Each structure stands twice: as structure tokens, then as C-alpha cells.
Structure 1
Amino acid sequence: MRAELAFSVGDLARMRFVVSPMWEVGPSMRLLRSGREHPVHRAWTAQVRPRLTATGLDRGLLAALVPPSGYVPDFLNPAPAGPTPTLEEELAAIRATPADRVRGELDRLGAEQGRPGPALRGLYDDVPRHLERLVEEIRAYWEVALAPYWVRIRAVLDADVFHRARQVAEHGAGHLFNELHASVSWDDSALQLSDRSRPLSRRAAGTGLLLIPSVFTGPVPFTRVAPPDPPGLAYPARGIGALWEPRPASSGGALAAVLGRSRSLLLAELHSPAATTELARRTGLSAAGVSQCLTALRDAGLVSAHRAGRFVLYARTSVAEALLDAADAAATGEG
């Protein structure tokens, strides 16, 4: 089905980009639950699926709200008030969802997916209490599946927004829409969506438009229509293909004189988040030595820690990424 969303001058004036944590939570959970091997996200799913099973999050309320295909309740994707909402700001919006709206969206989910399980029946019967439970599950999922990788993900999303904003500045909104995705096009004063399963009208959709780049949404854009919020269009961000490519291991030696051999080695090894025991296995250092070095790197703001069940996963921060970039540039004579 082809859908058309008309634009007035006011709608174009209210169009804006948003980088949203929650718009990565749902699509990433769906990918994990689908059991499919995604050609781009294969390394990520291989690391995260076992953690999801170990923590039981694949059998919780969040998983019940995000089926492998079909409708996902709109209250899971609140309309962000600003361009870069924090996870906690979006969780506050979820927690504040009116009970009648939650039940209405659960009715739609049930009509599509069939008889709801105990988790969804509990949410339907006691919305405030189970929304609190849902918020805690989302926090736990974030720590297991997304927080250790957020520096990489956020870099791709920010780069996409920068590119799209430059397109608007140089060529106008029509050019932006025509370049956004093969299923999206601009025709005079309307946005055309060729792969939307339901009709779309400006009266039903609300004013303006939120453009939301995502690394897990795909292969076609996802739309959210929940007046009075502006409609949202989540689309695959540019640069996803290189998201999980490991950094060339050239910077460890350059940093050794500053950080010490063991710490620079660990920083280079954190091309993917890992626990202390895994880093000890990779590097040949003792677990105690790895723990001591990680503490020092964390105190310096170069490493972040994220609890995943019984384990703590360590990941490079944006400060560490910038340091490694500078070391690589110096090593290749580009600085």
C-alpha cells in the first residue's frame, strides 16, 4: 500500500531530527527475538543473545510487547521533546502513559498477535505497577544489549543527522526525502511512503514530522502515528554497514608509552565490550591484573562498566575513541 502525508508550510517548519535511545530498544529486541542472522548485526547478536537468555529478558514484559513481527505499542516510543533525549527522560514518558491508552494499544496488539500471555494480562489489569516493572526491564536490557555499544551507535546516528541536515541546508527538504530511503519520496507538497500497510492522513497524524535515524530499524522505515504527537519516521541510518567493523590494531603501541603496555593493550582489545575473564583470555594477562588496569582506565574516563547478569561488561568511552583516533592519525602522519 502507498500512503501519502501532506505537508503545509507549518508542518515543514516543525520537522526536526531526533536521536532516541528508545527507538533503538524496540527494533534491537525484535531482531534478537526473531532468531534471524542479520548480515550487518551478526557480531552484535552473537554477543548479546546469550546475555539476554541468561538474564531472562527474552521472556519478560518487554519481550512480550515486542513480538518478532507486527505491531509494537506506540507508548514504547514516546515522542521526544528535544533532539537528543536521554534514556531516563524517555522512561519517564513511558511511566506517565495514561492507563486507558496502554489498554487500548494492548487491545490492538492482542487483535493482531492473539491471546495475550500472563505478562501482558498483568499490565492490562494493573497499568501503573507493571509500567514500573517495564521501566526496570528496559533499564536492564539497555545495560545488557545497548549501553556497552552506545558510543559506536551514537556516532553513526550523529553522523547521519549531520549529513541530512546539510542536505536540507544545501538542497531543501524535497531532496532530503528523496534521498532518505527507496520507499520514501517527495511529490510536490506530500511525503510518499510506498511500504506502509495502513493509510496515512495529516488529520490523523498530527502536525510536523520527527525524523529518527536508527541502526536497528530496517530494512524499510517505521512510522509512528499517535496524535497529538507529531508523526515519527524511523529510517535506517547511513553507515550501518561499518558499524561493527573492528578498529585496526595499530594504536596500542603508540599509547603504550603514555598508558603503559597492559592498559593500552586492554584499550585496544575493547573493540567489542567484554568482561574481565574474557579480556584476560584474549590478552594473556592475569584476571587480577586486568581488573586493576580496568579500574584505572575507568577512573580516567576511558572505560565504562555495564552490569549484565553476573558479569560486568567493559566498553570504551567516547574519550577513549578520540584518543585512539588521535594515536592512529599520529602513527600514519595525518595529525
Structure 2
Amino acid sequence: MHTWEFSAQDLARTRFACSPLCEVTTSVEVLKDPGRHGVHLPWVRQARQRLSGVGWELLSQLVRLPTVYVADFLTPVPDDSTRTIEQELAGLAATDPGAVRRDLARIDGELPPLVAALEADPEAGMARLAAEIRAYWDAAIAPHWPRIQRLAEGEILRQARKMATGGPAALFADLHPQVSWQRDTLRIGHRLIDGHRRLEGERGLVLVPTTFAWPGVFSQINPPWQPGLVYPPRGVATLWESAGAAVPDGLARVIGRTRARLLAELDSPASTTELAERTGLSAPNVSHHLTALREAGLLARHRTGRTVLYRRTRAAELLLGT
């Protein structure tokens, strides 16, 4: 069990951010131990085919199982809400050699050969690592990135709504089964890590919804990084589904099967394009039905960058029985 003690200032500075590099790192764990990450098996099958002939040996050696510690430079806590893979790779390649060696010194046991070479020559090693991650990203993550990104953005909208109506305690109420909030302390049920930390009101906590973290939760606790909590967003199970969501027959008889289907698909917020891909309907048709549902008070919409995400209102959830 790891615990973080919050002050009022820590809660005020708690925020969300997304990290493509965290997705890469956690996806490597999924590839190495797919049995523990059954939800992602459709992705595993595709990724293994796409990664044929792609060299990512150093990245593989840095992400070891069981996962007790992964070098902090591979799991940086984002300093703003939206980071691109290009920005994070630029930061990775520019990591100070002393920081690289400091992180590698935290790894227990003998270093694998390529990691030992990285420790001996951090500048060359980090350039190789950045190139490997770029190739890995292009093959295994980039084809799915728009949907992964929308899932994370939808999670942030959902949690912001909960926090607005229920306060900070509601934010942590169902974040993850291993996470709980008691008075001023956040408890994280890590299997292999114990400890207690006071956040001391300086930087707050960064929550990083990460698809490939499922089913686990991970924390970043080493200075000088801002404390971070990596957890899977709601709706991960729908990401690779080809079959549609279950549609309640009674609701379908009242508002029509297509509109009931769209409501059922919105377990997590999604865009018109994504809903069209899931349902096989044309984007204009989906847009027409979403407009009707929004005018009926069953949907709300939020703009994130250039994307408009739709989410169910409380009235729609009551109709669906969720």
C-alpha cells in the first residue's frame, strides 16, 4: 500500500494530463504479459504482426516484468494537459545523462546488456531509445491513437463533471478499485510498493488516464518529477470491440433502436466519427440522431481542440439503468 497525504493546496493543484510515452511504456508490458491484460488481446495480435521486423530491443529491456520500477525518463509526468509523441521524444532525447544514470541506478539486479550500454553512454543510448520508440509508435500505437486519445479526453470530461458536482472526494471515489480516499489521504493498493508521502502543497498530483495501464494503476513518486498517478480510463473494454453495445429493448421501442444504440455506445464520451465507425452508420446520420438526443436532454457535448465529444446526461443513464 502506498499513501499520499494531501493538503488543501495539493487538491487545488491536482490536474489531468495525457502522455503518449506512458501509453508506449505500458503497452510494452501488455505485449510481454498479454494474459494479464485480456481486454487488449485484439490489439496484441495486431501489434505483433505490425512490429515484425521493427527493432525495439532496448525499449523491451527497459520495461521488465514483474514491473516494480520503470526508469522515470520513460514515464515522465506531463507538464501540460496535451503532449504529442514528438514533444515527448524530444524531451526524452534531451534527458540529462546524470538523470539517466540516476534512474538506472534504481533498477535492482544486473542491468541487461543494452541497458548497461545506455548507462555507459547515455547520449548515444537515449538517441537509440528515441528512434526505437518512434518506430514502435508508428507500427503499434499510431494506427489506434485517435481512438485512444478520445477515450482519455472523454475520461477527463467525465471526471471533471463528477468533481464539479461532488467535489474532490467524488473524483477519487471510483477512479480505480485499488485507489481510495480517506479524509486527507489517497491510498493506492500497489502489490509491490509500500510507503507514505506528504505532498506538502508544492505541486499537487497529476492524474494520467492511460489505456494500456489496464487493469493496473501506477504511480510516479520520485523527485524532481511532479507526483503522478497513471490509471486506465473508463471504457477501455469498448476500445477493441467489434460488436455493438447491448441495447435495452424497452428503450429501443420508445426512442428507436438507432438512438438507443447510440446512447448505449456512449459509456464513455465519443465523437460523431467514432460512433459512425462503431455502428456502421454514416456520419451525417449519426449527427442527426445525436442532435435529436441532445435537444431531448439526453446528451451533452464538449469541444476538445478540434473534436466535439458527446456524453450521456444523468437522464440518459437513468433510462439505460446505469
**Where on the TM-score scale, by shorter chain, does this alignment land: which range?**
0.7 to 0.9
Counterpart for residue 72 of structure 1:
70
Cα pair 2:9 2:204 within 8 Å, conserved: yes
**Cα distance, 1:331 vs structure 2:** 7.5
Report SS of the residue matched to 1:54.
coil
Cα distance in structure 2, aligned partners of 1:213 and 1:102: 25
Q: How many residues align?
A: 260
Q: CA deviation at 1:151?
A: 1.2
* Residues 1:208 and 2:163 aligned together: no
Counterparts in 2 of 1:257-296, with a 5 A limit?
none
Match of 2:122 in 1: 127
* Aligned position for 2:132: 137
SS in 1 for 2:102: helix
> Could you say what the CA RMSD is over the residues aligned between the two structures, in angstroms?
2.5
Deviates more, 1:33-42 or 1:223-232: 33-42
Structure 2: runs of 5+ lacking an equivalent: 245-270, 292-322
Give the AA of the match of 1:38: H
Unaligned regions of 5+ residues in structure 1, if any?
Answer: 249-317
Once the two structures are superposed, residues 75-117 of structure 1 have per-residue CA deviations (whole angstroms, 9 ceiling, x without a partner) of 11122121011111111221222212211221222x2xx3223
- Per the alignment, residue 92 of structure 1 pairs with 90
Deviates more, 1:209-218 or 1:191-200: 191-200
Which residue of structure 2 aligns with residue 9 of structure 1? 8
Q: Give the corresponding residue for 2:258.
A: none
**1:228 Cα offset (Å):** 2.8
Q: Identity over aligned residues, as a percent?
A: 38
Matched with 2:30 is 31
User: Cα 1:203–1:154, aligned 2, differ >3 Å: closer, same or farther?
Assistant: closer
Matched letter for residue 214 of structure 1? T
> Contact conserved, 2:206 with 2:226, CA < 8 A, in 1?
yes
Indicate which of 234, 238, 241 corresponds to 1:242: 238
How big is the shift at 1:54? 2.5
- 2:63 partner amino acid: V
Q: 2:26, 2:178 → 1: CA distance?
A: 19
Q: Could you say which residue in structure 1 is the equivalent of 2:148?
A: 153
Matched residue of 1:150: which SS? helix
After superposition, the C-alpha distances for 1:199-232 in whole angstroms (9 at most, x for unaligned) are 0312699630000111110323100112232211
Q: Which moved further from structure 2: 164-173 or 187-196?
A: 187-196
Q: Does 1:176 pair with 2:174?
A: no
TM-score (norm. length: structure 1): 0.71
Residue 332 of structure 1 and its aligned partner are, at CA, apart by 10
* Cα pair 1:95 1:132 within 8 Å, conserved: yes
Does the 8 Å contact 1:61/1:134 carry over to 2? yes
> 2: CA distance between counterparts of 1:135 and 1:150?
18
